[in-house]
Amino acid sequence: MEMENENAIKQQAPRPKYDCLLFDLDDTLYPLNSGLAHEIVQNIQDYMVEKLGIEPSKTEELTNLVYNNYGTTIAGLRAIGYAFDYEEYYSFIHGKLPYENLKPDPVLRNLLLSLPYRKLIFTNADKVHAIKALKRLGLEDCFEGIICFETLNPVHKSTVSGDEDDTEFVGSKGTQATPANGGKSSEIFDIIEHFAQSDPTTELPKTPIICKPSEHAFKLTLKLANLNPPRTLFFDDSVRNIQAAKRVGLHTALVGTSHRVKGADFAVESIHNLKEALPELWETEIKPQVAIPGTGTETEKLAVETPVIA
């Protein structure tokens, strides 16, 4: 009889809907108005001129075209034929950022720490930037790991293949091979010209770089972090990233707007509104809804001790 009662409680205890919360970093864990995103765009255009010898008049259009077609500028520039040192690229575009605009965020920190799930960062940015930004926000210890540029694009190709035990998300050290000809490979695909044609006959070149919003980037991340898509909730401020995540079967929350778009299960105007927008995230701690008079404390204890399935 007592056993039956126990089983009844277990069956009715709410099971957490998710195992893991996967967070984008930039403009998701801190707001767009910090000004970093704007500076990054400017720095990318400066890099194009100073390091790749691209005409200043073309950088804006080029940035838009590669970004729209390849997910990140670095992926697009590589696709159309520019070869450069990734570490140098990132230190150029992130090195001068106004990191002082990112302030410690104890409110978000407490929110994150109160969520009983695995929590990971999934960013297209490099490791140095991700760690620096998380430290400025005071969130560096809120996450199990960081999946960043280096994680999905390891320098030594030999380490890419099938090392399933490599769960050290913060990427390995190393430098990309320096281009032999000063940053410009022999043939640059003219993407501006390509899109100027009314009916482009050529195909866009492929990029060797893996980044959001490619489905491959999501699948690799899921594999590396051992995540089950329907048990994972993904947060990002980018609609196309959210839609890619949805295609690979993740639950999705678009951050930075209250307007829910196609592919987004939730819309969260600010990450600080998490509790209002997604109260269900905390409901896993709710005691089993079984009326047993006088056992409130015990049932609470039971719920708290229930491990999150990893």
Least Cα distance to 238 among 43, 83, 54, 67 occurs for 67
Least distance CB 238 / Mg ion (angstroms): 5
- DSSP element (H, E) containing 108: helix 106-113
Q: Which two tokens stand for residue 291?
A: 């009326």
Which CB sits closer to Mg ion, 123 or 232?
Answer: 123
Which CB sits closer to Mg ion, 26 or 87?
Answer: 26
Coil, strand, or helix at residue 294? coil
Coil, strand, or helix at residue 253? strand
What single letter denotes the amino acid at residue 70? Y
Out of 24, 87, 105, 150, the residue judged to bind Mg ion by CB under 5 A: 24
Question: Alpha-carbon distance 43 to 60, whole Å?
Answer: 11
Under 8 Å between Cβ of 275 and 111:
yes
Which CB sits closer to Mg ion, 27 or 300?
Answer: 27
Write the DSSP string, 204-217: PPPPS---TT-HHH
Exposed/middle/buried for 101, CB within 10 Å: 0-12, 13-18, 19+?
A: middle
Least distance CB 66 / Mg ion (angstroms): 17
Look up tokens 């015990």; give the residue: 298
Size of the site for Mg ion (CB under 5 A): 5
Which CB sits closer to Mg ion, 212 or 287?
Answer: 212
Least distance CB 215 / Mg ion (angstroms): 18
Which CB sits closer to Mg ion, 31 or 183?
Answer: 31
Out of 18, 20, 22, 26, the residue judged to bind Mg ion by CB under 5 A: 26
Least distance CB 247 / Mg ion (angstroms): 18
23 part of the interface to Mg ion, by CB under 5 A: no
Q: Which of 27-35, 167-175, 205-213, 257-265 is the region at the interface with Mg ion (rule: CB under 5 A)?
A: 27-35
Which CB sits closer to Mg ion, 82 or 122?
Answer: 122
Coil, strand, or helix at residue 22? strand
Instruction: Write out the E strands in the chain.
Output: 20-23, 118-122, 145-147, 232-236, 251-255, 266-268
Which CB sits closer to Mg ion, 83 or 250?
Answer: 250
Which CB sits closer to Mg ion, 78 or 129?
Answer: 129
27 part of the interface to Mg ion, by CB under 5 A: yes
Residues in 204-263 that interact with Mg ion by CB under 5 A: 237
Question: Alpha-carbon distance 192 to 176, whole Å?
Answer: 27
Under 8 Å between Cβ of 271 and 28:
yes
Least distance CB 31 / Mg ion (angstroms): 11
73 part of the interface to Mg ion, by CB under 5 A: no
Question: Alpha-carbon distance 75 to 189, whole Å?
Answer: 14
Q: Which residues pair with 120 in a beta bridge?
A: 22, 145
Least distance CB 162 / Mg ion (angstroms): 30
Q: Give the footprint of Mg ion on this chain (CB under 5 A).
A: 24, 26-28, 237
